[in-house]
């Protein structure tokens, strides 16, 4: 990959194959219960940057993994992500009406449907990971199921969300904010990278540790940039309601550090992530480019 244009082509190819794989894997809207299946497809298809699938494929490229294995893993991680968005948007949590540029699932359908969409997407994700062959041995594949489960559960994303809900109206320390975000946003991003890396040639332990550190830094980076965009960008560009963190009195990197320092922290995390990847060689090219993309993105 020599140019920005090569990366853009790779990104677009992965986004397209992810869309195709998601569409083929989800139940058709005509199949009963039709309203639930239609709402699942509404939530998942035709939107989102697909950052987690891109990270799965980028890590898979590092270990020369089979592209069809990576598609299945990418879909599983994206389904967990979409379930979290659907539930997060519900009135009992963030109470939002706009996601990916269209009405949220509970607005377009109803609350009970949104709850079930999230539930069904979550279980569908694990079904995908349990089917077919994704790793060298059944035990290794079982380990992948366990990794996604722990990244999504009370020690990962769901736990981070619980801390987030409890923090509204309070100022958190920097350590507390980091503890929350490493779980809420970071755990799934880190899992996407590690799962992609488990689908191909085994990585030497030292490189596995480097990749895990990169995953942790990129997960945090994603959230710092998300906080900056929430404060700076407009609703039309984001495709979701802008300025919600301040409106809801939520602790963020911007409220804690101010915009300038939050931006500087993002650059620090990026530099650390890139230097961590340096010993991994030329096959880490997409992981490097994605870290840059996460910082420079505008939505």
Residues that bind ligand GRG (CB under 6 A): 48-49, 51, 81, 84-85, 87-88, 100, 157-158, 161, 184-185, 223, 226
Smallest distance from the beta carbon of 49 to ligand GRG, in angstroms? 4
Tokens 């990576």 sit on residue: 70
Q: Which is nearer to ligand GRG, 51 or 284 (CB)?
A: 51
Question: In this structure, what token pair is assigned to residue 68?
Answer: 């069809």
Q: Which is nearer to ligand GRG, 187 or 203 (CB)?
A: 187
Question: In this structure, what token pair is assigned to residue 208?
Answer: 């596995």
Read out DSSP for 142-159? HHHHHHHHHHHSTTTHHH
Smallest distance from the beta carbon of 41 to ligand GRG, in angstroms? 16
Q: Which is nearer to ligand GRG, 61 or 184 (CB)?
A: 184
Is the CB of residue 124 less than 8 Å from the CB of residue 25? yes
Smallest distance from the beta carbon of 30 to ligand GRG, in angstroms? 26
Please provide residue 102's backbone torsions phi and psi, each rounded to the nearest 5 degrees: -140, 170
Smallest distance from the beta carbon of 288 to ligand GRG, in angstroms? 19
Q: Which is nearer to ligand GRG, 104 or 223 (CB)?
A: 223
Is the CB of residue 56 less than 8 Å from the CB of residue 192? yes
Please provide residue 98's backbone torsions phi and psi, each rounded to the nearest 5 degrees: -130, 130
Residue whose C-beta lies closest to ligand GRG? 48
Is the CB of residue 51 less than 8 Å from the CB of residue 185? no
Q: Which is nearer to ligand GRG, 157 or 231 (CB)?
A: 157
Smallest distance from the beta carbon of 178 to ligand GRG, in angstroms? 14
Q: What separation, in Å, do the N-terminal and C-terminal C-alpha atoms of the chain show? A: 24
Collapse the DSSP code of 246 into the 3-class scheme (helix H, G, I; strand E, B; otherwise coil) and give the result: helix
């Amino acid at each position: 990959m020599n140019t920005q244009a090569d990366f853009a082509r790779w990104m677009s190819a992965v986004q397209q194959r992810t869309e195709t794989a998601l569409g083929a894997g989800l139940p058709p809207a005509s199949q009963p219960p039709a309203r639930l299946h239609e709402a699942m497809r509404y939530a998942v298809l035709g939107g989102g940057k697909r950052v987690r699938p891109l990270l799965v494929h980028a890590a898979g490229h590092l270990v020369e993994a089979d592209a069809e294995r990576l598609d299945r893993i990418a879909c599983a991680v994206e389904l967990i992500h979409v379930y979290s968005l659907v539930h997060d948007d519900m009135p009992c949590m963030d109470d939002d009406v706009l996601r990916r540029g269209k009405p949220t699932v509970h607005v377009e359908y109803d609350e009970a449907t949104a709850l079930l969409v999230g539930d069904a997407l979550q279980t569908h994700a694990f079904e995908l990971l349990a089917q077919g062959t994704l790793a060298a041995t059944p035990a290794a594949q079982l380990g992948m199921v366990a990794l996604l489960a722990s990244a999504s559960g009370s020690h990962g994303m769901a736990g981070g969300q619980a801390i987030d809900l409890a923090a509204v109206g309070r100022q958190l320390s920097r350590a507390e904010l980091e503890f929350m975000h490493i779980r809420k946003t970071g755990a799934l991003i880190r899992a996407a990278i590690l799962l992609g890396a488990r689908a191909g040639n085994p990585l030497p332990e030292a490189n596995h540790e480097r990749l895990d550190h990169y995953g942790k830094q990129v997960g945090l980076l994603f959230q710092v940039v998300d906080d900056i965009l929430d404060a700076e960008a407009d609703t039309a560009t984001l495709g979701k309601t802008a300025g919600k963190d301040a409106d809801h009195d939520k602790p963020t990197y911007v409220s804690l550090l101010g915009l300038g320092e939050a931006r500087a922290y993002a650059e620090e995390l990026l530099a650390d992530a890139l230097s961590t990847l340096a010993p991994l060689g030329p096959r880490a090219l997409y992981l490097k480019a994605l870290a840059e993309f996460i910082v420079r993105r505008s939505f």
